[in-house]
Structure 1
């Protein structure tokens, strides 16, 4: 409780400092765009403004005084602080216009307004009309411009408009989220129909290199998730949590008792490996983590990208390409692509503070019941213009989360989530270099300090020294992890071609420090803390991309081509000697010449050396290896008609360590009618073995059937692998099929269905434990990486969205889900015993990463003053095999079936309910309160033989129960 009170005091001090900082800032001007200021005044006083958007473009005013003035004083102040006139049209409508000057004709109106009608004699046509969508609903704020002039207006909330023409030019209607419409001038009342997409028609960064291609026109399924929209209905601490709630086929439950996986949470998409989904930042490849996962229910033998190293406040939206894309982006894009788009303009400046905690009632230790997992988070985002067409955007977050403690087993007292402290900073910038070129850059730095408890060392064990820990001990695996990245480039146009030249550098550095532990061979002289060494992975990617749109060919033809060169470097560095060595009773390192009488024992058992909990990397483990890859691609899109699109891609890639590969893609989109679209694709793909999979090696302690066993993971290039018939790792190969439909029933109801089939050959796996006593001393088991299995995954993603407006209130409902099935079609045993090479336990682990389904139902009620959201998630059942499968049959009456049933850990389907509320004090201040997993639901409790050492493995909603939180948000 002392920690909790201290934490609360820290939070109060922080909020006080934040408020003081805020008051200081409030004394300065708060400049906003005039268009945004008019919206604020309109909302406050329930009036409407009409104006020429071209005339007011670029004008900014200080919004602060308008928040306290009544309507009349606000109008008077507008006249004083802007170069415009303001006149009342009646019926709560005001017009903003530039007064007429001699020799100049500008604006929507150029003389004194008389009852809303312009009597200027030089306007030959007064054009009136209404703008509607395809479901005959009025569209507000459509930009209506007379071409080749500065003359224009916008549509009113009822969709109506009046435009006095100057030169009888064609009239263009544009609005974000709708197809532009151009019509001839007309002196009669006109009805203009604009067609919208299923979502806002945002231009895609991922999945298409056509810079005019919108989400709704994509030939493959793409989810575009706006961060601001999601944060209005829920709260999340990190990106993994956000994606897990928004993308049903994405799973990232926290691991526990899994060494490095406690610190960098592995995530899967569509049940495939963490390294089979490519991650991009603003369309550029993001580096992976240097960690390779050895334990747990997900990501065994894989290295993924740490999405949580990106601050949520830096993100504008996330694009998820739900289709194989190796032919477009190269290695790792077998399952799909996640593209993180950073905030890119001087707006949405925010400060937020967050506090939350878990319900710790489900804990066998009464002293730890109550609350735990105390979480503090603070973040800010600030953007400012840079010249006329540039910007600089800075985002920063700091997060502190304490341990959680849940029911452990006989081998683990401290079962629960790791303690973490994160600091993230990201900068995104763009500047105009010339009329044709822009310079852009983004850079990030992430530092994470973590602490995770390992399995318990009992007092009477050979792994403990009772003079140091009379009651045994729980080793603490801590780490310092940094991620740094820098992207810089030039983009623009040259002779009708769009040109993009960029270089991206990224590095992950992972350093272990083991605390509250000992080296048992040093007896009572052992230190309690050790530097255990670590690993790092750097990646430098250079891209040259060209694309051009030929509008005169068919209904449009886009051609893209480019080259990519990537350099990767992987290292393992050693820790201090005491973290990995064994010592004799005289304190000298043990060698082959050491007499057996000097080797420390306990009850006749030889004491293991190295730091308990996690043994340090030795000089024998050290690695410094690099490789290069070169890629060349061509990508084309044929719009044969406005309704039929055909896209193709071809990519050649050569790796310095395993050779070359060629991959292709073919995709098409067919619009059946304005509301229905069909899409299909076929592609081949690949994933190059990671440098960690090739070179990682370590001697470690593995708990098998609740007993510590010394194991060695040998590198793929080690000659010992040849002893087992394991060949050099080669690339995984994939074939991906998809078929989908997108339909808009009306303006309120939309549906998308996307089916997929993914076949992967030579999938890299971490083997089971082979007997190593005959080939290496003091080690009982050996494991290695191999191209071990072929898998087939097929499933369905669906999303049904419905919304309804009630005056100023809105109800949004969504039902989305993923149905999935993975089959292991072949095990490539290399002539080894199949149950040892990749037995039933390993097979169940692989399948557990691909749950049969996850369904999400969300409802949000939004009003000008508050927002309430509820989220129900249904998790499918999961089955795992625990360590009892390795026990002798005579423990089960010599019945394999009885042993299987005893070993089966079945997790039943579960539901969770999340609630979130936002109280909007004003446009600047918001208070958010909520809870995830309101009813404190846990996975089905298991016995003593789980892989995690607790009563649950890392499945479904995890084992932390309810989480309660509050957030204070300030917009400036």
Structure 2
């Protein structure tokens, strides 16, 4: 009986199996977008392993004839995760795609044509899938991620640069941080309140603080690599970065990330062999609203980052003969001694010091030279075997290592929140939407060590006989909220929105003193800060005419923007200079009451390392602008696409500007095309650049003199005939080629570009009067030396961007994705203007622009997924850079190219739990070291503080746990 049943089963299978093999039919279906359930046109549908496929129409529908079942259908679209569906017989499918794309995919975020797809775009856009990177990548902040995955983007953490330690300057295509526009969900993002004036890449610019946005809230990042000022307005000279927020619902995702630097330099100075410890926890959750695909998505993030230190031991003079006497006789007794008596006293303490004294007299040095120097011959000796310092260090039980600076990433603690919401109002796409968030960051960075050997009293040896290392603490608070309504009026898509954002940056100076207050000085000061607010209202309309040409998209709209910039003074003791009676010095009526050092120089006032902003520096300024644009995009034929944009913008503080853009794409074949664009652009000078000022009073010969950065509208700027700031203007030209080879799984894009920027806004070198006529001008403004912001030079940037993407199957279930991308660029400074007969840019300032960032950058990423395992290997080639500090010298310094390797392994325990482990800079590669010869830092900086291709923290090892609950 059992054998007969088995026989019948085999007979049925034998009869129907051949029929299954030769079964034919048609697969039809509709593709929609997750969340909104809207039809998804232009999606690719292909039978896996064949070239048989179709593209969804405007309503998301498709149809494919299949010669045999079963098959697997692969569905993909720009901006969405690829989906595979097994199909056993002819049927009608309902397929929903989730948002998510990879680096090589390109979209034109400047286009109002909602159906424009991948390789057909006339200009290039890198699109980064954040959900994938958040799982496998070592980097955790937006600027870190972009620096390693988008070759045309450059950003590194700065060190010993005041506020810039806490906001990373970022560059696109080698231009300035203020020449790239940042959007969130297509809406303009406000800038940071900090202007970078402290000697790093991006000096004189105001960037957007992208690190105030939690990475866990972002679905993807679109980087438009082309000028787009005619479409978006000010700042979009180099391109546009658009952050697209998540809108997933009914899904909770938790990321727990921890890691630390484990490198040869962290082992050198830190117990346990690690530093820069990081811990971050992210949570993302969304819920559906209504029955039409509405949603609200929340993200929260908490993180801490430890400081790193890559300094060397102190190589400069630490103590003077005065410090030796102070230790043995007391501060007051030493201060009361005649210089010759003090020198004789110290010389008698030790035969070594007697030799220093004798050698100094023989050399003809003055008593001042002998007393203040750390050698027998001159003050500036940087030898590590100086007799006075060596003697005093031994007496105090200290070493030079106790006077090390903190050169590395700052300490950071942050909390971030982001929300994204949309509520449909009907079945026709009408909806109200909103997004926004808050972030709070506390940072702590260090300045230069205040050694007792400072002869102007900055070391305040009375209260701190061994000097001190001052710290600059920052508090950055960022808030934003956008709200809008979109829908249809007839056939027109309408979008009306308002976006508000404010960024504040406050300084607290710690472990420092106001030296004019002596031993009674506070050790902590509120030094003031900045705030910048921006409100942007947009009204946009667009319509797609399917029957005009092969499709015509018409869009137009208007924008109104209000901005406010504030500079707030610090507490009095943070900026004031006090006399011996503890009164604020406002004039020099009684020079006997001025606090002086033992060596006779005036002791500077204010908090050491960062004097606070004064009431005279305070600013509260507004401006407004309005704009109107029109954008046309037409498929004139199936092969030829042409788009044009015109924009008029008017600012109340400098006037009006008119810009245009033309771009096109011509298909050479079904799988290849050429594309190009030509445009004009502009960037309005930031309010920060117009009104920022930071001056301090120095007394020269008993006369109070202002020194520092003067506002562009100041009295001194007027006397020197420095014109008011105007907009930068640009001319952009790009030409590219795109191709895909479906049978080989290969996609290629190559784009060349040229960007000429005229009248760039920048900060000048420091000017001091050198003639009687110039002295009269400075005297009229009570100024001694000054910097300004001005439209002072032009730049020409040229380059080539390349992206190759290859995807193939390996083994039964394995998929290997290889992406090679690179940029080759060059920026030249031209037509530099002059003030007082001297060019406004010195060689260092030119260096920041021309060659302090890598001109060449290559990225090769290999990602292999099989079963529950995912392996990511990434190698990034950072080209050589030149040190601005040595530019123009007899011995210029170049730091050679390096390759940084990232590796991570991810294992999925289940659909809900993943564990990732890996490393950034796996091979512990460092930049070339600063040559000691000629270094102004006394061997404290092992690596340059002016430029860095990829930072100098060394190897970073991390682990990440990802939990998903659906």
TM-score under structure 2 length normalisation: 0.79
Q: 5 Å matches for 1:862-881?
A: 862-881=865-884
Select 1:842's aligned residue among 833, 838, 845: 845
CA distance in 2, matches of 1:477, 1:144: 57
**Counterpart Cα distance in 2 of 1:508 and 1:269:** 22
Question: Cα 1:135–1:149, aligned 2, differ >3 Å: closer, same or farther?
Answer: closer
How far 1:746 moved relative to its partner? 2.7
- Aligned pairs for 1:364-403 (under 5 A) are 366-367=269-270, 370-388=273-291, 389-403=293-307
Identify the residue that residue 897 of structure 2 maps to in structure 1: 909
Corresponding residue to 1:825 among 830, 839, 842: 830
Shifted more, 812-821 versus 410-419: the winner is 410-419
Higher relative contact order (CA 8 A, sep 6+): 2
Pick from 708, 728, 736: which aligns with 1:712? Answer: 708
2:157 to 245, 249, 254: 254
Q: CA deviation at 1:219?
A: 1.4
Match of 1:809 among 787, 808, 814: 814
Give the conservation status (yes or no) of the 8 Å contact 2:267–2:274. Answer: no
* Contact map agreement 1:426 1:444 (CA 8 A) in 2: yes
| 1:98-137 CA distance string (max 9 Å, x none) | xxxxxxxxxxxxxxxx99999xxxxxx9944799968983
Match for residue 493 of structure 1?
Answer: 488
**Length, aligned pairs only:** 811
Runs of 4+ in 1 over 6 A off after TM superposition: 114-118, 129-136, 139-145, 147-157, 196-203, 776-779, 946-949
Q: How far has the Cα of 1:156 moved from its partner? A: 10
- Of residues 847, 855, 858, the one that matches 2:861 is 858
Give, in whole Å, the separation in 1 of the partners of 2:508 and 2:903: 39
Q: Counterpart in 2 of 1:137?
A: 49
Indicate the SS of the match to 1:901.
coil
Report the Cα offset of residue 435 of structure 1. Answer: 4.0
What residue is the counterpart of 1:41 in the other structure?
A: none
Note if 1:274 corresponds to 2:271.
Answer: no
Deviation at 1:296, TM superposition (A): 3.4
Matched, 1:918 2:920: no
Aligned to 1:793: 797
CA distances 1:602-633 after superposition (whole Å, capped 9, x unpaired): 12111111111111111000000000000000
Structure 1 residues 648 and 812: alpha-carbon distance in aligned structure 2, compared to 1, 3 A threshold: same
CA–CA distance in structure 2, aligned partners of residues 364 and 726 of structure 1: 52
Alpha-carbon contact 1:271-1:849 (below 8 Å) kept: no
Q: 2:510 touches 2:525 (CA, 8 Å); kept in 1?
A: yes
**Alpha-carbon separation, structure 2, partners of 1:243 and 1:557:** 34
CA offsets per residue over residues 76-105 of structure 1, 9 Å max, x none?
xxxxxxxxxxxxxx99xxxxxxxxxxxxxx
Structure 1 unaligned spans of 5+: 1-89, 92-113, 119-124, 162-172, 180-187, 703-708, 886-898
Deviation at 1:233, TM superposition (A): 3.9
8 Å CA contact 2:26–2:65 kept in 1: the answer is no
1:65 is aligned to none
Aligned ranges for residues 307-706 of structure 1 at < 5 Å? 307-346=210-249, 349-362=252-265, 366-367=269-270, 370-388=273-291, 389-408=293-312, 410=315, 413-436=405-428, 437-461=430-454, 462-602=457-597, 603-699=599-695
More displaced stretch, 857-866 vs 539-548 = 857-866
Cα contact 2:24–2:67 (8 A) shared by 1 = no
Aligned positions of 1:77-226 closer than 5 A: 127-128=25-26, 137-138=49-50, 159=71, 176=77, 204=107, 206-226=109-129
Structure 2 CA distance for aligned equivalents of residues 393 and 634 of structure 1: 33
In structure 1, the residue corresponding to 2:174 is in which secondary structure?
A: coil
Contact persistence 2:639–2:667 (CA under 8 A): yes
Superposed CA offset, 1:139-187 (max 9, x none) = 9999999x999999999995379xxxxxxxxxxx9864699xxxxxxxx
Note if contact 1:393-1:428 (Cα within 8 Å) is conserved in structure 2. Answer: yes
Q: Is the 8 A contact 2:108 2:121 kept in 1?
A: no
Closer, same or farther: CA 838–867 of 1 in aligned 2, 3 Å: same
* Pick aligned residue for 2:194 from 291, 296, 299: 291
Partner SS, residue 883 of structure 2? strand
Distance 2:309 2:731 in 1: 43
Counterparts in 2 of 1:160 and 1:534: CA distance versus 1, 3 Å: closer
Contact 1:249–1:269 (8 Å) recurs in 2? yes
- What RMSD over aligned residues (CA atoms) do the two structures have, in Å? 3.6
SS of residue paired to 2:893: strand
Q: Which of residues 936, 942, 953 is equivalent to 1:951?
A: 942
Q: Structure 1: how far apart are the matches of 2:72 and 2:879?
A: 50
The equivalent residue for 1:781 is 785
Is the contact made by 2:54 and 2:64 (CA closer than 8 Å) also made in structure 1? no
Say whether the 8 Å CA contact 2:105–2:125 is kept in structure 1: no
Q: Normalising by the residue count of structure 1, what TM-score does the alignment of the two structures yield?
A: 0.78
- On the 8 A contact 1:294/1:301 being kept in 2, the answer is yes
Q: CA-to-partner distance for each residue in 1:634-677, whole Å, 9 max, x for gaps?
A: 00001111221100000000000000000000000111111102
Task: Please give the secondary structure, in 1, of the residue aligned with 2:815.
Answer: strand
- 2:919 corresponds to: 931
